Amino acid sequence: MNQLRRERIGKYIQEKGAVTVKEVSALFPDVSLMTIHRDLEKLEEEGLIIRTRGGAVSATSAGSPTEVKLEARMQTNWKEKREMAQKALRLLEPGSAVFLDAGTSNMALAQAVPDMDINIFTTGPNIVLELGKLSIPTVHMCGGTLNRFNQAVSGQSTLQMLEQINIATAFLGVSGYTEENGFTCGKEDEMLVKRLMMRKAGKKVILMDSSKCGRILPYTFGNVEDVDYIVSDGRLPEEVRERAEQAGTVVL
């Protein structure tokens, strides 16, 4: 029954191009909203749809699948990510060297960075283009192999470059977090970059909105006790905040 329902949802989204969760839920009045969200998550994992804030779009409805996926991810919780970026700005120190991880949370931070004297290293080509609009910061693009889905470079070239740099503050994105598995991401190469920054950076800053809590991806790169700050949307579960307080990790 689950598979038949998902097939119907997938066909409906393919036909309409874009739908809201409310529209999908109306097709199955006897099914809980949580179940509908799980169905959409499964369809996204299968590459058939892209979830957006409050709905979903067909993976083939506009542009290439990569473009659609990136655009959808940029829209998800964008207001919260911009608010998080304003909090993260407090941790930027003029004249220092910082690392901006790839991902939409750090893209929001890049858009908020003022025109100031600072060295910025990043694995996000789209973040480099955003920072290129500024006049004063020195921007360094790490080399490596491009993952088109999330606009991140990684690999041995990336690690070799970052190994030589003294990073004062690293801003790291996450794809999932659970108490047992810590901060997780989906690619081994990107996990190695994050672990390197966790080891080398003077201050470790996690950018994580509450939607990442409860999600588990294959690769763990750290936990609450390993970082100095968690910049959030103000809606982290109480157990995360308590664990951070016990570890001396500041939640912004």
Note the pLDDT tens digit of each residue in 181-214.
999 998 899 999 999 999 999 999 999 999 889 8
CATH of 2-75, one of 1.10.10.10, 3.40.630.30, 1.10.579.10, 3.40.1400.10: 1.10.10.10
Burial 61-74 (b: 16+ CB within 10 A, else e): beeebeebbbebbe
Tell me the two tokens of residue 96: 């220092």
Is the C-alpha dihedral spanning 131, 236, 147, 6 positive or negative? negative
Q: Which residues of 150-178 are buried (b: 16+ CB within 10 A; e: fewer)?
A: bbbbbbeebbebbeeeebbbbbbbbbbbb
More confident residue, 58 or 92: 92
Per residue in 165-183, pLDDT tens? Answer: 999 999 999 989 999 999 9
Residue 43: CA count within 13 A, CB half-sphere? 30
The answer for residues whose C-beta is within 8 angstroms of residue 92's C-beta and 6 or more apart is 98, 113, 116, 118, 169
CB 43 within 8 A of CB 6: yes
> What are the tens digits of pLDDT across the range 14-66?
887 778 888 899 999 888 998 998 889 888 877 778 777 678 877 665 444 44
Quickly tell me which residue has 């108490």 as its tokens: 179
pLDDT band (50, 70, 90) for residue 129: very high
Cβ 154 vs Cβ 145: under 8 Å: yes
Residue 46 has what pLDDT? 75
- For residue 77, the SS3 value is coil
At 145 the pLDDT is 92
The region, left, alpha or beta by phi > 0 then psi within -120 to 50, assigned to residue 18 is beta
| pLDDT for 63 | 46
Burial environment of residue 188 by CB neighbours within 10 A (0 to 12, 13 to 18, 19 or more): exposed
pLDDT value at position 182? Answer: 96
Q: Does the pLDDT value for residue 68 go beyond 50? A: no
pLDDT at 72: 57
User: Per-residue pLDDT averaged across 89-102, rounded?
Assistant: 96
Asked whether the whole model's pTM tops 0.85, one would answer no
pLDDT at 122 over 90: yes
How far apart, in Å, are the Cα atoms of 115 and each of 28, 104, 105, 111, 132?
51, 20, 19, 11, 10
Which fold, 78-251? Rossmann fold (3.40.50)
Helix or strand or coil: residue 51? strand
Instruction: Summarize the confidence of residues 229-249 as an average pLDDT.
Output: 95
For the chain, domain boundaries:
2-75, 78-251
Mean residue pLDDT of the chain comes to 89
Q: Which residue has the higher pLDDT, 110 or 48?
A: 110
